[in-house]
Amino acid sequence: MPSNNERSSSLLGLDELLRPRSLAVIGASDTPGKVGYTVLRNIVASGYKGPVYPINPKDPEVQGLKAYRSVLDVPGDVDAAVIVVPARLCVEVADECGRKGVKGLIIISSGFSEVGRKDLEDEVVRAAGKYGTRVLGPNIVGVLSNSDHMNASFAPFLPFPGKVSMVSQSGALVVAIDAATYVRNVGFDKLISIGNMADVDIADCVEWLDADPNTTCISLYIEGLKDGRRLIEAGLRATKPIVALKAGVSAHGAAAAASHTGSLAGAAAVYEAAFEQAGIVQAADLNNLFDRSLALSLQPPMRGENLLVLTNGGGVGVLATDSAERVGLPLKFAPADLQAELRKSMPEFGSAKNPVDLTGMAGADWYYGSVKACLTHPWVDGLVILYCETSLTVPMEIAGTIHRAIVDSGVKDKPVTIAFIGGEQSAKAMKGLMENGLPAYDVPDKAVNAMAALNEYAHIRTLARDESPADDLGAAEAAAREIIRSARAYGRLSLTEIEAKQVFAAYGLPVTKTALARWEDEAVALAAGMGFPVVLKVVSPDILHKSDAGGVKVNIRDETGVRDAFRIIMKNARAFKADADILGIAVQEMAPAGLEVILGSINDSSFGPTMMFGLGGILVELLRHVTFRVAPVNRVLAKIMLEKIHAARITEGLRGEAPRDREALAGVIERYSRMVADLGDEVAESDANPTLLYEVGKGVKIVDARIILKKTSG
Amino acid sequence: MPSNNERSSSLLGLDELLRPRSLAVIGASDTPGKVGYTVLRNIVASGYKGPVYPINPKDPEVQGLKAYRSVLDVPGDVDAAVIVVPARLCVEVADECGRKGVKGLIIISSGFSEVGRKDLEDEVVRAAGKYGTRVLGPNIVGVLSNSDHMNASFAPFLPFPGKVSMVSQSGALVVAIDAATYVRNVGFDKLISIGNMADVDIADCVEWLDADPNTTCISLYIEGLKDGRRLIEAGLRATKPIVALKAGVSAHGAAAAASHTGSLAGAAAVYEAAFEQAGIVQAADLNNLFDRSLALSLQPPMRGENLLVLTNGGGVGVLATDSAERVGLPLKFAPADLQAELRKSMPEFGSAKNPVDLTGMAGADWYYGSVKACLTHPWVDGLVILYCETSLTVPMEIAGTIHRAIVDSGVKDKPVTIAFIGGEQSAKAMKGLMENGLPAYDVPDKAVNAMAALNEYAHIRTLARDESPADDLGAAEAAAREIIRSARAYGRLSLTEIEAKQVFAAYGLPVTKTALARWEDEAVALAAGMGFPVVLKVVSPDILHKSDAGGVKVNIRDETGVRDAFRIIMKNARAFKADADILGIAVQEMAPAGLEVILGSINDSSFGPTMMFGLGGILVELLRHVTFRVAPVNRVLAKIMLEKIHAARITEGLRGEAPRDREALAGVIERYSRMVADLGDEVAESDANPTLLYEVGKGVKIVDARIILKKTSG
C-alpha cells in the first residue's frame, strides 16, 4: 500500500470528503419530505460522531440543532458540506465553502449536466477549485459509511454491514441496493454515489478505497467513463480486489446510458479489455455483482485451478459441474489419496471423484471430516461446498459444522464458497455463514461463479502486474510526427500508403519495401534495387480503392513487366478519374504468401488509442472475431491477444501446417501499440491489413498500411 | 386437449398413481426417524382426503390408524401404494398389490439400478406389469400435490401453492426445492420425484400433467433420458408450456450424471435440438428454471417481439436493455404516439423512448398511467416493469397500482413481468404481485429473461407444430436395406463409397454419378458414358484414406487420361497395401466447384438418429460449428438448420458472391434425415462430405458418401 506521501494528487481532500470529521448540511430543513430534511435526519440517525452544522438562511434551529445562516458563520472547522440547495445557488455556496476552508462538497442537488447544464457544473467545480475544495457529484444520493456511522444521503439507512465498498454511477441503484443488502445479507461498508463526476471520478474513489482500512473489496457500477485510462492506472496500483459491472454494453443500452448520464459509453469490447488490463474482475449482471463482491470481500484468491466440489446431492453436484465448465474451471478427478480419505465418510454408492457426493445420508460429521480432508490436501486450490436441505438434517447444524471444520483445518489461504439449496432454515444458516466470513448462495451455480471470480482475480492480477522492459522508441515518435506534419501541411487527413509505411517503419514494423516512382525509369531502377518479383500500385489521395481503379499489378518478374505495368496503371488511373492527383506509382517488394492477420487501432472515446488484432478471412469478415486492448500493450499482453479469437489454434498450425512465428508477431503488436499510443493525439485509426505471418523464424510482413488522422491534432 | 379415449396407453393407471383416491403405505411405521413413519405422517398431516391404509406385518395400529398385515387384507379399494420396504421385499409386495388390484406403486425404496441392481428393478416392474400396475420410481422422494392435499413423500411439507408442476430426476432436489418455494414465492401444484424411471418416465408425466386441470406449466429437471423420442412426442402433443433444465451438459458433468442416475446422458447439442423440436423451453440453471417456470405458469406467451421496458431508474433501465439484447429481444424505440402519451406522466428529463424512464420522481399515479398506456397500445407485445425502491415511494403501493393498472387495462393476452430492486418492503410487495398472478423478480435481468421464455415458448411452439407433407419414400427404404444386407453378408461394417451413394441415391439424394470399373476398358466406357472430366478413385474396404494411398486422380479429361490414371492408381494401391482387397476403381462424374457443406448423422444414445449440418472449411474444422436435429426433420426444420452456425449469411452470398440454392439444400437435408431415421436400426453414422452447394437454381451435389453400420442390426 502506498504511504501517504506517495499518494497521488487526485486524492487531495478525499479523506475529508469521504470520512469527514465534521459536516455542514447546506439547505437543511425542518420540513419532512424535503431532501434537506431527510439528509440531516439520516446523518443524525445513523449515529455520526462529529459535529453537524445545519445551514439555513431563515431558521435559527433545524431538527433541534443550532442552524447557521451561512457556512461562514459556523464556529468550528467543516471538513465536508452536503449540499441540497437548487443548482443555481451552488456556485455561490461553493465559493462560501471555499472561503470557510471546507475540503469537500457532497452535492446532492440535480439540475446540472444530466439536464444539459454542463456549464453550471463546470462553474461550481471552478469555484470550488479556487480553494482546493473537492466536489463529489452533483446529482447524487450521497455517501454512506458503516464504519463512520455516517449516512450522508437521502437513502433511508446504512447498508447491511460488511467489507464491500461500492461506487455507483446510478443514484437510484444506490438506494435500491442499500435496501437489498438486508435481503441478501451481503455486507457493505460504504456506498458512494458518484453522479455526474464533475470532479471526483471512479478512479479517485478506487484509489482512495484501496487505502481505506474498512474496505476489502471495491465494487463498481459503471455506465460510462470520461477518462478510462485513469481507472486502468488506479486498478493497476490497487492492492484489493475490484469488481465492476459495466452497464450499456448493447448498442441500444449504450444509447440509453448515454442519454442517462451524459457520459459516452465506450465499446463493450474495449471495456472488457480495459478491465482485464486493469486487473478488474467483471460482473455479468446485478446479481452477479453482489455475488462476486461478496466472495471477493471475504475470501482469498484461488491460487491454482484445482476446484473441488463437495455435495450431499448428486443432482446439484452435476449442476455445479456444468457451471464449473461454463466459468472456465472444469472439474478434474481428485487425486487417489484424497479419494481414499474421502471414501471413509460416505456410503458405498457415494462418489469420491469430484464432485464428491456424500449422498443424502450425509450428516454433520461427514461434512466435518470431508471439508477438513479437502482443505488440508495440497491438490485442492478451492472448495465449493453444496448442501441440499434434507428431512434428516438441520441446516444450521450443517452450517456450524462446516464453519468449525474450516477453522479447525487451520487453512486460511484457500477460498471456500458455499450453496445451501432449501428454504427458510437454509436461508438462516447461510446468514450465519456469511456473518462468519463464508460467502453462501442459494444455488450451486452462484457458488461456482463466485469461486470463478476468486480465480479470475488471481489470474488477471498476474497479467496486469507484468512489466517487461520496453524498447526505447523515442526517435521513432519524432520521425513519425514529421511525416504526419507534412501530410497535414498538404491538408490531407489520410496518409498515403508510402507515408503510412514510413511511420510504421520508424517504429521498426516490418513493412514491405515500398518506394515512390514518379516516372517509368525510376520504377525500373527501384524494382531492380529491391529485387523481383515486385508489385506496382498507384499512389493518389484521390484513389482510395486502388484495385477497383485498375491501379494494382502484382507478381511483376522483370524490367519489361515493370514498364508495361507502369503504363497500364497510369492509363487506368486517368481513365478512372481524369483529374486525380497522381503522386506516382509505388514499387513494392512482393511478399511471399503467408497466414493473413489484421492489426489495427481505433481511438475509443473513453480509453483513447486501442490495439486491435484479428485473423484474416472468414473469422473477421463473417464472425467479426477481433480482440482489443488499450494501447500500449506489453509483450505479455500481446501474447495474450494471440491466444484469443482462435488465433492460438490457427497460428499453432491447423491442418498439419507448420507453426507460425508468434514471437515475432507479438513483438510487432507491442511496437504497433506503442506507435498508436505515442501518436494518440494525431491518429484517429490505422491498420496493417493484410499482415502476413510466416513460419517460426521467418517473421511477419505488413503488406498494406493505412493511417487516418484526427480532424485536428490533440 | 385429447379426450380420455384418445389418451395413449402409456397413461393407463397414471390417474390412480398420481391422484389416488385411496392410499396404502407399505412399510408404515410408528418409529419416528424411519421413512415409513415420515411418509405416513406426511400423508395425514397434508390433509389427504381419501382413506389411508398403513401396512405393517407386526403392529395392528400405526400412528393411530388401523394397520393391516398385508395390502391383501385391506377391506376397501386401494388406488396406489407407497412402498418403503427394503428393495429385496419389493417383488413380493408388487405381486400382492397386483393381486389386490392396486393401480400404481410409488416405490420410495432405494437399492435398485442406482447401486447396480437393475435386475431387481426389472423384476419388480415385471411383477407389477402382470396385473397392469404402474410403477413410479424406485429410488424416489415421492409425490406431492397441493390440489390433492397429498404429501405422499418424505419431503417435510407441500410446496408453496401455485400452478407449476415439476418432474425431477433428482430426489435431493425435490426436497430442497420444496423448501425453497417458500423463500422464492414460486408456486407449485405438484412435485413428482421420478427416480430410476423403471416404468413411468418423464414423457408419461408430461402427457399426464398436460391434462391435469391444476397445472399450467410443466417444469422438468432432467439428467438423462432412456428414450428421448417419447419426450419429443409428448412435448409436441402438449398444450401447456414445458420448461426443462438439462443437467450434465459438460463432459465431466455427463460422467457425474451417468454415475448418479444410471441413465446415459446425451450430447448437450442434441438435447438442445430435441428440446427445440419438442417445443420445450430451456432453462440455463436452477434459478433460471424457477424464474422461467414462474412466468410460464402465470403469463400468456409473447405474440410478437416488441418488448417495452418501463422503469423509474435509468440504471436498471440500461441493465434491462443489455439483458434484452443478450436474450434475443433487442429493444426498439417505441412508436411516436405511444411516446407522446407516455411523456404526459414524466418530467422533462425522463425518456419515453424505450426503456421508458419515468425517473426517480415517479409515484404510483405515473406508473398507473404508463402501464395502462403501454399495455393497451397495439405495438407492445410484452411489458417489463421495473421499480427501484426509493425514499419517496412505498413498494406495496406501487405494486398495488401496477396490478390495478393491468386489471383496468382489460388486456389479458400480453405478458407482463416485473422486477422490484430493493429490500424487505420490495420483497413483500413482490409476494403480493405473485399471489395476484404477476411474476416478479429481484433484478431486471430476471424479469427480462422470464419475458424471453414467454417469447421462446410462442416461437418454438410454432416451429414444433409445423407439419409439411413429406414425400413417400417407402420404396427407397427397401432398396437401401438390400444394399446394406448385401454388405453385411460380406461381413463388412462400412459401405463402400459406391454402395453408400446407392443408398443415398435411393433416397433421391443428388450424388455424383459413380460406377465401378473392374478393368481399364470398363473405366473408359463408363467415363465416356458419363462425360468428361471424370475422377477415378480406388474402391477397397482395406483402403479408407484413398488420397493418402495415391488412390485418387481428378480432372481426367479424355480416354488416355483414364487409362493412365487406372494404371497408376492400381499400382499405388498395391504399393500401399500388397494384400488389399481391391474391388475395382470408381469412375465418377467430376462436380464443378461449389460452396462446401457437410451433412451427416450420428445415433445418439438418448434420441437415436440425428441429422447434422455444417459448413466446410474453418468453421467446422476449427470452431466445430455444426448443428444437430433429431431425425427426421421436415422442410421447416431443415430451413432452420440453414439459419444456424452462420450458414444463413454465408449461403446468402458473402463477399458479393451469388446466393446459394438454399431451397435445394433444405430438400436434401429433409431427405437425408428421412434416410437416417428409416435406417436407424442399421446405420451407426454417415456423412456426405463434401457436399457442394451451387447458386440458386443449380442445386446441390454430394461428392463423397460414407455409411458406417451398427455392429448388429436393430
End-to-end CA distance of chain B: 35
Q: What is the ipTM of this complex?
A: 0.89
Q: Is the pLDDT of residue A248 over 50?
A: yes
DSSP annotation of B10? G
Q: How many CB pairs under 8 A join A and B?
A: 279
Question: What are residue B587's DSSP bridge partners?
Answer: B515, B536
Which percentage of chain B shows pLDDT scores above 70? 93
Write out chain A residues lying below 8 Å of B427, CB-based: 183
Answer yes or no: are the C-beta atoms of B686 and B514 closer than 8 Å.
no
Is A650 in contact with B622 (Cβ distance < 8 A)?
A: yes
Is A252 in contact with B325 (Cβ distance < 8 A)?
A: yes
- A639 versus A62: the higher-pLDDT residue is A62
Which percentage of chain B shows pLDDT scores above 90? 75
Rounded CA-CA distance B139/B385 in Å is: 43
Is B621 in contact with A348 (Cβ distance < 8 A)?
A: no
Q: How far is A173 from chain B (nearest CA, A)?
A: 7
For the ranges A134-143, A547-556, A617-626, B323-332, which has the lowest average pLDDT? A617-626
Nearest to A106 by CA among A181, A51, A184, A25: A25
Is B321 in contact with A180 (Cβ distance < 8 A)?
A: no
Residue B465: alpha-carbon gap to chain centroid: 15
Q: How far is A508 from chain B (nearest CA, A)?
A: 33
Is A176 in contact with B421 (Cβ distance < 8 A)?
A: yes
* Residue B623 confidence (pLDDT): 64
Rounded CA-CA distance B73/B66 in Å is: 11
Q: Is the pLDDT of residue B5 over 70?
A: no
- Across residues B520-542, what is the average pLDDT? 92
Is A622 in contact with B650 (Cβ distance < 8 A)?
A: yes
Which of B286, B360, B390 lies nearest to residue A445, judging by beta carbons?
B286
Is A314 in contact with B256 (Cβ distance < 8 A)?
A: yes
Is B176 in contact with A618 (Cβ distance < 8 A)?
A: no
Average pLDDT, chain A: 91
Residue B154: alpha-carbon gap to chain centroid: 29
Average pLDDT, chain B: 91
Q: Is the pLDDT of residue A683 over 60?
A: yes
Q: Is the pLDDT of residue B595 over 90?
A: no
Which of B315, B330, B646 lies nearest to residue A173, judging by beta carbons?
B315
Rounded CA-CA distance B503/B508 in Å is: 9
Write out chain A residues lying below 8 Å of B443, CB-based: 285-287
Residue A651: alpha-carbon gap to chain centroid: 28
pLDDT tens digits, one per residue of A522-549: 999 999 999 999 999 998 888 877 888 8
Q: How far is A481 from chain B (nearest CA, A)?
A: 37
pLDDT band at B428 (very low <50, low <70, confident <90, very high): very high
Which residue in this structure is represented by grid cell 445551514? A55
* Residue B259 confidence (pLDDT): 43
Is A315 in contact with B172 (Cβ distance < 8 A)?
A: yes
Is B360 in contact with A171 (Cβ distance < 8 A)?
A: yes
pLDDT band at B252 (very low <50, low <70, confident <90, very high): low
Rounded CA-CA distance A367/B335 in Å is: 59
- Across residues B352-364, what is the average pLDDT? 92
Count other C-beta atoms under 10 Å from residue B490's C-beta. Answer: 8
Please give the radius of gyration of chain A, using alpha carbons only, rounded to the nearest integer.
31
Rounded CA-CA distance A546/A560 in Å is: 22
Count other C-beta atoms under 10 Å from residue A491's C-beta. Answer: 7
Segment holding B651, helix H or strand E: helix B647-651
Q: Which residues contact B310 (CB under 8 A, 6 or more apart)?
A: B355, B356, B358, B367, B370, B371, B374, B383, B384, B385, B386
Write out chain B residues lying below 8 Å of A321, CB-based: 248, 250, 252-253, 256
Is B285 in contact with A247 (Cβ distance < 8 A)?
A: no
Write out chain B residues lying below 8 Å of A181, CB-based: 423
Is B322 in contact with A172 (Cβ distance < 8 A)?
A: no
pLDDT band at A264 (very low <50, low <70, confident <90, very high): very low
Task: Give me the phi and psi of B106, to 5 degrees please.
Answer: -105, 95
Is A444 in contact with B261 (Cβ distance < 8 A)?
A: no
Q: Is the pLDDT of residue B255 over 60?
A: no
Rounded CA-CA distance B589/B526 in Å is: 10
Rounded CA-CA distance B37/B108 in Å is: 13
pLDDT band at B527 (very low <50, low <70, confident <90, very high): very high
Answer yes or no: are the C-beta atoms of B611 and B632 closer than 8 Å.
yes
pLDDT band at B80 (very low <50, low <70, confident <90, very high): very high
* Residue B170 confidence (pLDDT): 93
* Residue A92 confidence (pLDDT): 97
Nearest to B150 by CA among B45, B282, B254: B45
Question: What are residue A221's DSSP bridge partners?
Answer: A168, A245
3-state helix, strand, coil in chain A (%, to 5): 40, 20, 35
* Residue A376 confidence (pLDDT): 97
* Residue B355 confidence (pLDDT): 94
Rounded CA-CA distance B51/B23 in Å is: 6
Answer yes or no: are the C-beta atoms of A356 and A344 closer than 8 Å.
no
Which residue in this structure is represented by grid cell 408388487? B94
pLDDT band at A640 (very low <50, low <70, confident <90, very high): confident
pLDDT tens digits, one per residue of A477-536: 999 999 999 999 988 888 988 899 999 999 999 999 999 999 999 999 999 999 999 999
* Residue A262 confidence (pLDDT): 31
Which residue in this structure is represented by grid cell 419431503? B155
Rounded CA-CA distance B308/A214 in Å is: 42
* Residue A254 confidence (pLDDT): 56
pLDDT tens digits, one per residue of A306-333: 999 999 988 999 999 999 999 999 999 9
Segment holding A317, helix H or strand E: helix A314-326
* Residue B714 confidence (pLDDT): 67
DSSP string across B316-343: HHHHHHHHHHHTT----PPPHHHHHHHH
For the ranges A269-283, A301-315, B262-276, B684-698, which has the lowest average pLDDT? B262-276
* Residue B656 confidence (pLDDT): 66
Question: What are residue B601's DSSP bridge partners?
Answer: B611, B686
Site from A252, A318, A442 to mutate, B interface, most B CB atoms within 10 angstroms = A318
Q: Which residues contact A624 (CB under 8 A, 6 or more apart)?
A: none
* Residue A618 confidence (pLDDT): 62
Q: Is A48 helix (H, G, I), strand (E, B) or coil?
A: coil
Q: Which residue of A has its CA nearest to B388?
A: A176
Q: How far is B272 from chain A (nearest CA, A)?
A: 15
Most confident of A604-613, B79-88, B245-254, B643-652: B79-88
Q: How far is B178 from chain A (nearest CA, A)?
A: 7
pLDDT band at A615 (very low <50, low <70, confident <90, very high): confident
* Residue B534 confidence (pLDDT): 95
- Across residues B545-562, what is the average pLDDT? 90
Q: Is the pLDDT of residue B456 over 50?
A: yes
Rounded CA-CA distance B64/B638 in Å is: 63
pLDDT tens digits, one per residue of B33-66: 899 999 999 999 999 999 999 999 999 999 999 9
Instruction: Count Cβ atoms within 10 A of the Cβ of residue B404 and give its class: 0-12 exposed, 13-18 middle, 19 or more buried.
Output: middle
Q: Which residue of A has its CA nearest to B157?
A: A391
Q: Residue A249 corresponds to which cell in the numbers above?
A: 454494453
Pairing of strands B416-421, B440-441: parallel
Q: Which residue of A has its CA nearest to B314?
A: A260
Write out chain A residues lying below 8 Å of B322, CB-based: 247-250, 253, 285
Q: Residue A328 corresponds to which cell in the numbers above?
A: 472456465
pLDDT tens digits, one per residue of A90-149: 999 999 999 999 999 999 999 999 888 999 999 999 999 999 999 999 999 999 999 999
Q: How far is CA B92 from CA A115, B97, B126, in A?
A: 80, 9, 11
Q: How far is CA B329 from CA A165, B276, B384, in A?
A: 33, 18, 12
Which of B360, B425, B649 lies nearest to residue A172, judging by beta carbons?
B360
What is the side-by-side strand order in the sheet with B534-539?
B514-517, B584-589, B534-539, B552-556
Is B655 in contact with A318 (Cβ distance < 8 A)?
A: no
* Residue A606 confidence (pLDDT): 87
Q: How far is B256 from chain A (nearest CA, A)?
A: 6
Is A172 in contact with B330 (Cβ distance < 8 A)?
A: no
Q: How far is A349 from chain B (nearest CA, A)?
A: 6
Q: Which residue of A has its CA nearest to B445?
A: A285
Is B427 in contact with A183 (Cβ distance < 8 A)?
A: yes
Rounded to two decimals, what is the model's pTM?
0.90
Q: Is the pLDDT of residue A691 over 90?
A: yes
Q: Which residues contact A59 (CB under 8 A, 6 or more apart)?
A: A30, A67
Q: Is the pLDDT of residue A255 over 80?
A: no
Q: Please tell me the number of Cα atoms within 13 Å of B154 on its side-chain side.
A: 28
Instruction: Count Cβ atoms within 10 A of the Cβ of residue B233 and give its class: 0-12 exposed, 13-18 middle, 19 or more buried.
Output: middle
Is A176 in contact with B314 (Cβ distance < 8 A)?
A: no
DSSP string across A519-580: SHHHHHHHHHHH-SSEEEEEE-TT-S-TTTTT-EEEEE-SHHHHHHHHHHHHHHHHHH-TT-
Site from B35, B196, B261, B322 to mutate, A interface, most A CB atoms within 10 angstroms = B322
Answer yes or no: are the C-beta atoms of B43 and B88 closer than 8 Å.
no
Answer yes or no: are the C-beta atoms of B224 and B257 closer than 8 Å.
yes
